[in-house]
């Protein structure tokens, strides 16, 4: 039987194996570019594709996911900016609750409205405590979510938020400085969060070089997500993936 995404994440965490995920925004990609990205990702042994964005304006989502699925076996996980960003062709869905914010719509409201539709999709649901951390610039996610991020130097707030999310039953914690963040999340914040939770920890936002990806993993991140830096320089896929996979077990 095929191992579920969550089982594999749990197993990798237990073994200390780190994962590298490439974020694809369906609005920013066309078929030739996607083909190139898939090719590079296969060579680089990328572990997951995350597909989504805070705003998906076009309706390319299904097309984009189907194209990836027919080209390779790298699992596709949806990272939706809104409940409309669901594609049944993906493997899993980060079912995000914005636990760092105090906007009831993004904590539970939108989930209630879309629950039957999400259930029907047949996707593997990965309940995720989503934490936006201040990355030094107002990002789309902080504007759209109408919720203030955790201040970048308030490590204890981040730790308590993640801990509460885990105790509420969330299966993953995702700390995000926002796409294109000027300042990525500090290693000290990642470390204190990682030290206090048992579920896999995803970290993303503004990770611009392989060194930072490596240091984040050393600090305790289990999955590193990179979008922007790769859009600018695709050769970083291999360097980043190698850095993440070189963290000693």
Q: Which stretch binds ligand 1GP (CB under 6 A): 33-41, 104-112, 119-127, 226-234?
A: 226-234
Per-residue tokens: 154: 């308030």
Q: How many whole angstroms separate alpha carbon 243 and alpha carbon 210?
A: 6
Which of 6, 66, 69, 180 is in the footprint of ligand 1GP by CB under 6 A?
180
Q: Which phi and psi (to 5°) does residue 182 adopt? A: -70, -40
Q: Which stretch binds ligand 1GP (CB under 6 A): 59-67, 101-109, 117-125, 178-186?
A: 178-186
Which of 133, 170, 229, 240 is in the footprint of ligand 1GP by CB under 6 A?
229
189 lines the binding site for ligand 1GP (CB under 6 A): no
List the x/- string, 66-105, binding to ligand 1GP by CB under 6 A: ----------------------------------------
Per-residue tokens: 68: 């990836």
Strands 76-78 and 48-51: parallel
Which of 26, 75, 92, 227 is in the footprint of ligand 1GP by CB under 6 A?
227
Least distance to ligand 1GP, CB of residue 120, Å: 26
26 lines the binding site for ligand 1GP (CB under 6 A): no
Q: How many whole angstroms separate alpha carbon 52 and alpha carbon 60?
A: 10
205 lines the binding site for ligand 1GP (CB under 6 A): yes
Q: What distances in angstroms separate CA 162 from CA 31, 61, 129, one per listed residue?
A: 37, 30, 7
Which of 97, 142, 161, 228 is in the footprint of ligand 1GP by CB under 6 A?
228
Q: Which residues contact 188 (CB under 8 A, 6 or more apart)?
A: 155, 219
129 lines the binding site for ligand 1GP (CB under 6 A): no
173 lines the binding site for ligand 1GP (CB under 6 A): no
56 lines the binding site for ligand 1GP (CB under 6 A): no
Per-residue tokens: 106: 């993004």
Q: Which residues contact 226 (CB under 8 A, 6 or more apart)?
A: 20, 21, 22, 23, 204, 207, 213, 236, 240
Q: How many whole angstroms separate alpha carbon 223 and alpha carbon 216?
A: 9
225 lines the binding site for ligand 1GP (CB under 6 A): yes
Least distance to ligand 1GP, CB of residue 226, Å: 4
23 lines the binding site for ligand 1GP (CB under 6 A): yes
H-assigned helices in 72-186: 104, 110-120, 140-145, 155-167
* Nearest partner of 85 among 7, 35, 6, 144, judged by Cα: 144
Which of 165, 206, 210, 220 is in the footprint of ligand 1GP by CB under 6 A?
206
Report the interface residues with ligand 1GP, using CB under 6 A: 23, 176, 179-181, 204-207, 225-229
């Amino acid at each position: 039987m095929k191992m579920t995404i969550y089982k594999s994440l749990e197993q990798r965490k237990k073994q200390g194996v780190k994962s590298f995920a490439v974020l694809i925004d369906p609005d920013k990609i066309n078929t030739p570019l996607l083909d190139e990205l898939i090719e590079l990702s296969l060579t680089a042994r990328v572990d997951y594709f995350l597909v989504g964005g805070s705003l998906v304006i076009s309706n390319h989502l299904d097309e984009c996911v189907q194209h990836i699925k027919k080209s390779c076996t790298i699992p596709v996980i949806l990272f939706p900016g809104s409940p409309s960003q669901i594609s049944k062709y993906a493997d899993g869905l980060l079912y995000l609750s914005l636990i760092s914010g105090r906007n009831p719509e993004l904590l539970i409201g939108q989930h209630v409205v879309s629950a039957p539709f999400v259930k029907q999709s047949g996707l593997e649901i990965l309940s995720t405590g989503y934490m936006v951390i201040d990355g030094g610039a107002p990002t789309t996610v902080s504007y759209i979510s109408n919720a203030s991020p955790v201040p970048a130097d308030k490590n204890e707030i981040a730790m308590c938020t993640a801990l509460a999310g885990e105790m509420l039953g969330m299966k993953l914690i995702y700390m995000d400085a926002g796409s294109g963040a000027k300042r990525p999340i500090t290693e000290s914040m990642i470390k204190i969060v990682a030290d206090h939770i048992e579920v896999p920890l995803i970290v993303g936002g503004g990770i611009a070089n392989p060194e930072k990806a490596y240091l984040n993993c050393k600090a305790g991140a289990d999955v590193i997500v990179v979008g922007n830096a790769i859009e600018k320089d695709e050769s970083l896929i291999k360097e980043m993936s190698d850095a993440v996979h070189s963290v000693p077990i």
